[in-house]
Amino acid sequence: MGVLLLKLFLAPALIVVSALAGRRWGPAVAGVLVGLPIVAGPILFITYRQHGADFAARAAGSSLLGLVSLAVFAVVFAHVGRQAGWVVTTATTWIAVLGVDFALSFAHVPALGAFACSLAATTLAMLSMPKPEPERELKRSPTWDLPARAVATGVLVLVITTASSALGPGWTGLLAPFPIATTVLAGFVHAQQGSAVATRALVGVLTGLPGFAAFCFVLAVVPLGIAAFALGIAAAAVVQLLVTRLGFRPPAWPAGSGSARRATPRRP
């Protein structure tokens, strides 16, 4: 019963928190939060509860490679989203991500090598992001926005974690960083605010990936159960602080370009 509650409420609650942060501080901040393991972390923790520390450690090692496909998601969505609506953009991007995941499923890379691959993919993705468009005031989100994000996240997490027994640690790990939260974030933002704002959110996602990689690396090399999760969270926080202080962003993007203005209520 406890595992079921984790599946249904933990990741969706974190998605709602990131959405509220995006409304307060801009889409790039929401992207950074989503780029951290707010969905993959609960998925890996659930697999640990269901299958043990060794299974979770092997899944975390595969998750490091899965971050490559998450970087691909950001680049493909940002470019396709400039020409297409959110449905076509999401479908095209998922096809690209699943293709990359399928190719990566044949790779057998040690944790350190996978960690290096994830950082290299993140850097290349940053270099490949489209140039920023002028910022504009954000539209007010509809009342159904937060509940819809939570439901969409819960359904996707439930599907992946339920299938983990049949998938094994390799595919469970590859799919743990599958862009569940990123799809929900980018899809909703693209539909409501447009591709330019979605791209800024995706730059935030890429900014959060080094911390995500540090979290997965610790889980992969320190199979100590719950203690490993605590160490992974601490490592992610330290790495993300360093990344933020260094101003990790695409070369063409000026500092502070990720924070669009918040919506303001219209006067009657």
Q: What is the tens place of the pLDDT at every residue in 209-228?
A: 898 899 989 988 887 778 88
- 87 exposure class (CB count in 10 Å sphere: 0-12, 13-18, 19+): exposed
Give residue 84's domain range.
Answer: 2-131+144-246
For residues 61 and 220, is the Cβ–Cβ distance under 8 A?
yes
Distance CA 76, CA 186 (A): 12
pLDDT at residue 76, rounded to an integer: 95
* First vs last C-alpha separation in the chain: 49
In a domain, 261, yes or no: no
Q: Mean per-residue pLDDT for 117-140?
A: 81
Q: How many structural domains are present in the chain?
A: 1
In a domain, 104, yes or no: yes
pLDDT at residue 160, rounded to an integer: 66
In a domain, 262, yes or no: no
pLDDT at residue 123, rounded to an integer: 92
Residue 64: both structure tokens together = 């490091």
Indicate whether 185 pLDDT > 90.
no
pTM exceeds 0.85: no
Q: Give the 3-state secondary structure of residue 145.
A: helix
Q: Does 133 or 70 have the greater pLDDT score?
A: 70
In a domain, 30, yes or no: yes
In the chain the beta strands, taken as DSSP E runs, fall at none
In a domain, 139, yes or no: no
In a domain, 79, yes or no: yes
Q: Mean per-residue pLDDT for 133-158?
A: 71
For residues 109 and 219, is the Cβ–Cβ distance under 8 A?
no
Indicate whether 27 pLDDT > 70.
no
Q: Does 6 or 238 have the greater pLDDT score?
A: 238
In a domain, 95, yes or no: yes
In a domain, 11, yes or no: yes
Give CA 101 to chain center in angstroms.
Answer: 15
Residue 210: both structure tokens together = 């080094």
Give CA 23 to chain center in angstroms.
Answer: 18
87-115: pLDDT as tens digits: 999 999 989 988 988 888 787 888 899 99
pLDDT at residue 259, rounded to an integer: 47
pLDDT at residue 74, rounded to an integer: 93
Distance CA 250, CA 258 (A): 11
Other beta carbons within 10 Å of 74: 28
Distance CA 216, CA 60 (A): 5
